[in-house]
Amino acid sequence: MHASGSKEEHGLNTLNVENVEEGQPKEIFDAAQISSRSRSPAERALLRKLDWVVLPVLWLMYFLNFLDRAAITVARLNRMEKDLNLTSVQYQACVSGLFVGYLLGQIPSNMIITRVRPSIFLGSWMALWAICSTLQGIVHNFTGLFLARFFLGFTEAPFYPGALYLLSIFYTRTEIATRISILFSGSVCGNAFASLIAIGVFKMHGVAGLAGWRWLYILQGIITFVVAIISIFILPDEPSNTRWLSPDERELAQSRVSGDTVARRTNTSTWAGLKDAVTDQNLWPLILIQHLGVAASGYKNFLPTVVQTLGYGQTTTLGMTCPPYLVSGALSVLWSWSSGRRNERTWHLSMALTTAIIGFIIASATTNTGARYFSIFVFTTGVYAISGINLGWVASTCGQTKEKRAVSLAVTNTISNIATIYTPYWWPASNGPRYVMPFTISAVFLVVAALSTFTLRWMLVRANKKIRQTESEAQVLYAL
């Protein structure tokens, strides 16, 4: 069957390109045409259904993921360090300990998820991390908190790369960046509302003889467990067997994503997917960009402490931590939507990097209360806009098989999160109140990320030229 038949049936327009040497017409799926094509009513209905079922569940799961993870940053303001006799270095070790466990579980989990039911897999791991989160509320020393954090990280590890994989098998390249950004806003809101929720929960201090910070861990863990069980019955597994899609919708869901992949191949083994991912030269600049972006976001584990340097009390500090996250979350979604609509990555990503760099420079250059608080809005907006665009670029660039796509997302997330082990040590209390060193290093890292972005663009331009020179009847070009 000629490739254009199935594409046109679902509204996928093609561009005829003449091969000068052979004199034969070829069909090239140009980025601009893909981004501007009109969807059929059936496709729009399918997209609405996915957006109203899959996205809200994944968003809530990720919100709770970060709510549980960020609890330590606000518990620090409610006597946790004093109650557990923690030093500043031990607190930093507990923050890092989560990410040691987190890194160990990501790649294996995304190799497994292509062979099991994602709904059960993700929901079960969420239930386990809920238990680990609750256990943090009953520890009595550094060792107990460190171990609870380590296992919290290990049990949280499968969720984010697994959620990215799930989105990548239902959404096309022009859609996925926005959806990843919406998902990522769950983490932003988790960080934001961690402070507001803590204001209320800390008032339970002394109830049943427990400190307020202990109640925070316990209550959030219980809520997370309930959501985990519910998610198992709602999340889909594959486009071809999703229970709440009709047979026609399943066929459409599968065909539209398979027709939107560069050099798509038959699915392979998980180990072949791992080999394909790590040997793809296009993946490594994307990994570097993500790693540097995650390193620059290291402030999030210390933002309440940074805001406290503005000179306000505990309740005001917790309240002031929320607005930068909410604003940056909303703007990052719009940023990714614009990137997806235009199917453009380089300039959207470089502008996000530039915005964050400007924010870090302002933060390190002044102690003026208004300017410093404004800088927090600027650098959080820039940093949070990076992830949705870059991970969408990973999914569309390295999606030749579902195994390669899953592993590529996991490898990117794993290597990028190595930064979360060492960045807490940039923020010792001795660096306050200006924290010049971490803000400066973050800005430098993002300059390198911008250079990597344009390097990747150059690589993909060359790859697209080679695609145009092939003899294949139909090809999809890499997004730039």
CATH, residue 64: 1.20.1250.20
In this prediction, residue 473 has a pLDDT band, given cuts at 50, 70 and 90, of low
Would 255 be classed as within a structural domain? no
Would 6 be classed as within a structural domain? no
Would 328 be classed as within a structural domain? yes
Q: How many Å apart are CA 370 and CA 47, to the nearest integer? A: 43
Residue 27 has pLDDT above 70, yes or no: no
Would 183 be classed as within a structural domain? yes
Would 184 be classed as within a structural domain? yes
pLDDT digits over 58-81, tens only?
999 999 998 998 888 888 888 899
Residue 329 has pLDDT above 80, yes or no: yes
Contact 216, 95 (CB under 8 A): no
Range of the domain at 74: 33-241+268-476
Which of 409, 414, 408, 406 minimizes the C-alpha distance to 105?
414
Would 202 be classed as within a structural domain? yes
* Count: domains in the chain: 1
pLDDT digits over 49-64, tens only?
999 999 999 999 999 9
What is the pTM for the complete model shown?
A: 0.76
Would 17 be classed as within a structural domain? no
Summary mean pLDDT of the chain: 84
Would 257 be classed as within a structural domain? no
